[in-house]
Amino acid sequence: MLNIGIIGCGKIAQVRHIPEYMDNKDCKIVAYYDRTYERAKEMSQKYGGIAYKSYEELLKDKDIDAVSICVANHLHADITIQALRAGKDVLCEKPMATTIEDCEDMVKAADEMGKKLMIGHNQLLAPAHKRAKKLIDDGLIGKILTFKTTFGHGGPETWSIKPGPNTWFFDKNAAVMGAMADLGVHKTDLIRFLTGQKIAETTARLMTLDKKDSEGNLISVDDNAFCIYRMEDGIVGTMTASWTYYGPEDNSTVLYGTKGIMRIYDDPKYSIKVELNNGEKIYYEIEGIQTNENQTKSGVIDLFIESILEDKETELSGKKALNSMRAIFASIESSNTGMTVFVD
């Protein structure tokens, strides 16, 4: 039985992490920290465990085996590294960190301490994405030539413990990045997973088109990101992340291969639609993807616990996430310079 600590008791912790830990028979939550102490205390009273007034105090508790880090982006690296050095396995929310150097330091700390570091890229565990990966590897659509992957919705204003235009997602000091960090990291890592190829080159534009703060000023982070990725074997495609899709959420990926086309989460009824060049059409009815309004079990917590108990690496490991994070930061550089950037 693993003892779990929750660092950050906001919306993502309350909606995903805490309920999924409570549903796992191999662990129990024993500790909570939030910068608003009353929030941590509320969680401890509701689910059991101790509320701490500092995360440092929580990390000193030797009875805690692992922690979920659910704080604002700019704190991810520092708290993760402290937790690893305190001997805890770590599940960190995305984005992994706000600089590539911090991402690398997180992986280094995990290696040095012999601890697990997992990043919450839950889209890799979505049922249709897992099935699509197998179909691709089996050669159903042949060699992938191009792709387009999109994640867009109306914004994170309601996806915060304090909803509205003053959400920390819009604060550059806390979030550092906008739609690119919130949504783009998911699709960037997904295309790496589906193609089995690292991202080698990016040409990108990040911009703020519409989102405003409570005073009517454009927010200080991007609300849209548009990237052209070239994979290491020559596959080329687009990744779009947006907070300004003021209608149905778009969480689709389309892969164009030498034998046909695969559409994933592009149809409300069929999670995967394949149209082959011989005229054959194959439709798969698989569980729909999570949305902010429709929360289902992500599988991330179960995989984290399993990775610790069975001492195994997963697709969600910090090491796997590094190439995707390099592509994120290269895309920001590309947008700032107006040039194509090679992903080192």
Domain ranges of the chain: 2-122, 124-342
Query: Is 302 strand, coil or helix?
Result: helix
Q: What is the mean pLDDT of the chain?
A: 95
**Confidence band, pLDDT 50/70/90 cuts, at residue 165:** confident
Q: Where are the alpha helices (DSSP H) in 27-162?
A: 37-47, 55-59, 76-85, 100-113, 127-137
**Confidence band, pLDDT 50/70/90 cuts, at residue 280:** very high
Element (H, E) at 325: helix 318-337
Residue 289 confidence (pLDDT): 58
Arithmetic mean of pLDDT, 276-304: 81
> What are the residues whose beta carbons fall under 8 Å from the beta carbon of 206, sequence distance 6 or more?
178, 180, 222, 224, 225, 226, 331, 332, 335
**Confidence band, pLDDT 50/70/90 cuts, at residue 286:** confident
Asked if the domains at 2-122 and 124-342 fall in one CATH topology, the answer is: no
Residue 183 confidence (pLDDT): 97
State yes or no: pLDDT of 61 exceeds 60: yes
State yes or no: pLDDT of 294 exceeds 80: no
Tens of pLDDT along 172-231? 999 999 999 999 999 999 999 999 999 999 999 999 999 999 899 999 999 999 999 999
pTM of the model as a whole:
0.93
Residue 293 confidence (pLDDT): 53
> 124-342 has which fold?
Dihydrodipicolinate Reductase; domain 2 (3.30.360)
Query: Is 225 strand, coil or helix?
Result: strand
Q: Is 174 exposed, middle or buried (0-12, 13-18, 19+ CB in 10 A)?
A: middle
CATH architecture group of domain 2-122: 3-Layer(aba) Sandwich (3.40)
Range from 89-93, 113-117, 137-141, 287-291 carrying the lowest mean pLDDT: 287-291
Residue 27's beta-bridge partner residues? Answer: 2
State yes or no: pLDDT of 290 exceeds 80: no
State yes or no: pLDDT of 288 exceeds 70: no
